[in-house]
Structure 1
Amino acid sequence: MEFQTVEQYRALIDHSTDVIVLFDKTGVIQFASPAVETMLGYDPNELIGEQAFSLIHPDDREQAVEAFNQIVGAPSQSTKKQEHRLRHADGSWVWAESVTTNRTESDIEGFVINTREITERKRNEKQLEKRTEQLEALNRVVRHDIRNDMSVILGWGEQLQKHVTDEGQDALDRVLRKSRHVIELTEISRDFVESLVSDDTTEVKPVDLQQYIKTELAAVRESYPNAQFDVSGDISDVSVRANEMLSSVFRNLFENAVQHNNEETPVITVTYVDRDETVRVRIADNGPGIPDEQKEQIFGKGKRGLDSSGSGIGLYLVHTLTDQFGGDVWVEDNDPKGAVFIVELQKAE
């Protein structure tokens, strides 16, 4: 559809929720659209003759002027999106996002600013920044204070093994198991917080799938010598879209397969399935299996989040990370018994 009349253009401007302002080469406002009253509380005619940059907060003005100077003498060129505060008629400041375009060689004979309010977005960004700082502080406490103290407790407990009686051995074994479990939880919590606040996790890149699986299998075999870990077939040398946090995905799934297994010898089998654009890693166990009504909840999916029944924050972290990688994770029944956790990842181009 093409606009054929001045009335059509005026109707478009009048009904636009964005503020449209025209100013000349000296920065004096020649026109302001009706939306300026909704955003800033000014009657449009009230702004005519005012300096456009005088409405910008002093701390943001220099950047705006610099961007404007870059398009002076460059007809049809536009500035990049500029975020700055604009003075409201009541004296408060409103966050806005603006683009200025040089129209000096058109019939407009001036510079056009298109502006929209982003105050709510900036408020949300501020809240997110604060929460990120709080998460990072919590991460430092978990990573250093709690983990270090529990490592000391575990060390002293292990030294007591040679000195307790048979009657006390069971109690000491319980203390040692719980100590190791707390240390494990600090590692999971650390990975989870880092997945939320670290810039690295937002960058997905090609990583060697085989390397991550082999590394985590070696670690879990050492941690659980009574468990049996088998690899069915070959794990192809393929790159997938992920990052360093992929290690946490497999570590949590391997450990989960042992910890929630009631067999004397937990047997975990890892199988690789090559598809056209994705790869699937199947981690099967011979444990009690997972009821159908819990297959979604164990990952913390849906409304229940971390309060879901099942294996806790470890599987929630697995789901969060695979989702960040553009992949997926789910669980199926194993045959004749047990569960199969399936991680699907995108192949790297």
Structure 2
Amino acid sequence: MSFEEQQDFARQVADLNKYGQALNRCESVEEVVSLTLEAMSLLFQFSYSTFIEVREGELEVVHSTNPRLTQGGKPGPVAREAFETGETVVTTGADAGLDGNSDVTATLAVPAQVGGEVTAILVTRSTSVDTFGEEYSRPLEILASHAATAISNIRSRERLERARQDLETRKEMIEMYDRLLRHDLGNDLQIIAGFADAVAGEVEGQTADYVGKIQRAAESSADLIERVGNLVSTLEEQDEPEPRDLRSILEATVTEVDANFSELTIDFDPETADYRVYSGELLDSVFTNLLSNAAVHNDEPVKMDISVVETGNDAILVVFADDGKGVPESIRAEIFEMGAKGPDSSGTGFGLGFVRALTESYGGGVTVGESEMGGAEFRVTLQRA
């Protein structure tokens, strides 16, 4: 018998909808687990129900009415199979129990998925039926979908809260560096420059050359402090992430960069970027930096492909792949550090540090690798709104 052919089909659908609405109002994963197990008990009234969460690829029992399973423990093989295949699994007979001494006659394991990624597994075991047909698996799949959505939303909120906290910490550090750079180092440079100017008119020959180098070094350092100070001020002014339209930001950025760099050819389909993401007002600066870097750091004309894809954890990945000379593997680990730069770079080294600081403040991140075209590939992760 199919799920729809049951006499109590309408009641079960109504119950599932009510639980789905209640799950979306949950504030914690613990609430989701408790409510889901309650729904499983109401729907099926079977002996054992288990909620398993997937954490960084590992399966962990969150709660179970089965006395043989404990919180934080590892589930049985049927849950592992559901996780690895991403499909509903039914086992019967001797294979249904956790061991040979079990009175379980049938086990049903349903993966809860969001965006193709399994985030949890619901398992119910019976000692009274020989197998589980669609009349059992279908409602549990619907419930699992509701639970997966609820957990995904909660985890997204948690990531955004961590991003907000990280942003506050970063602002405090930025303020400290700002005071150090502008006040302490700035004052020292003024003294150096002042004495160098005074000495310049009193010496000649090689000594005058030395004084000239001191003056130029002081001017260069003061200019660098000013630029870093402007960057610091920009980061200090960042607000908390909020939903923004990714497509319009990317379109405007591509248009602007394309007009400024004739040696850069950009392949981008705006329709692939129809998403809303959590970010701040400077997201366009992140994209501008990555696009312009491809033109500035390559001697020959460069082609760049921009692609936008969903990831399984409610995030969006914006990929910038080019056919330039790439980023050497030896410097990829530190290239996003403030002040770090490639061996052939003539810049300050703060551009990619700026990119990382901004994307992390939005609850995302940025990485670099080698593209399929042989050049660099920058991958920007943003939380989907």
TM-score category (smaller protein): 0.3 to 0.5
Larger RCO, structures 1/2 (Cα 8 Å, 6+ apart)? 2
Structure index of larger Rg: 1
Using structure 1 for the length normalisation, give the TM-score: 0.43
